[in-house]
Amino acid sequence: MFNFEKLDVWQKAIEFADLIYANTRSFPTEERFGLTTQLRRAAVSISSNIAEGSSRSSKVDFARFVEIAGGSVFEVVSECFVARRQNFLTDDHFLKIYAAAEEESRMLSGLRRSLLTAR
């Protein structure tokens, strides 16, 4: 088992990607190379950046990757606003994604803070 797999924030990021994949399956076919791909790539990059950052030799480097992961959370949220306005997401699905994004963002902020203060 790799160290990053033990991190709750990484496990939540995987669950978040699952949520995005599940909710984008019903998007229109013409969005397959548009919003669907954008959302999925951004969601997957959250856990990927946590994993990659955990391999860095310094906590400051790891913190930078965690910051990038946080940016991907924000990207997903912004894209979900567009998806909701285009009626690709119901209000209920949007709110579930939004709540999960808030939780992931809080967890990433906490991890980043702990990495930068533990120097």
Within a 10 A sphere around the Cβ of 95, how many other Cβ atoms? Answer: 13
- CATH number, span 3-117: 1.20.1440.60
- The residue ranges of every structural domain in the chain are 3-117
In whole angstroms, give the CA distance from residue 74 to residue 100: 12
pLDDT tens sequence across 24-64: 999 999 999 999 999 999 999 999 999 999 999 999 999 99
> What end-to-end distance do the CA atoms of the chain give, in Å?
25
pLDDT tens sequence across 79-113: 999 999 999 999 999 999 999 999 999 999 999 99
Q: How many residues does the chain have?
A: 119
- pLDDT score of 37: 97
DSSP alpha helices (H): ranges in the chain?
8-24, 35-54, 59-85, 91-117
| The model's pTM | 0.96
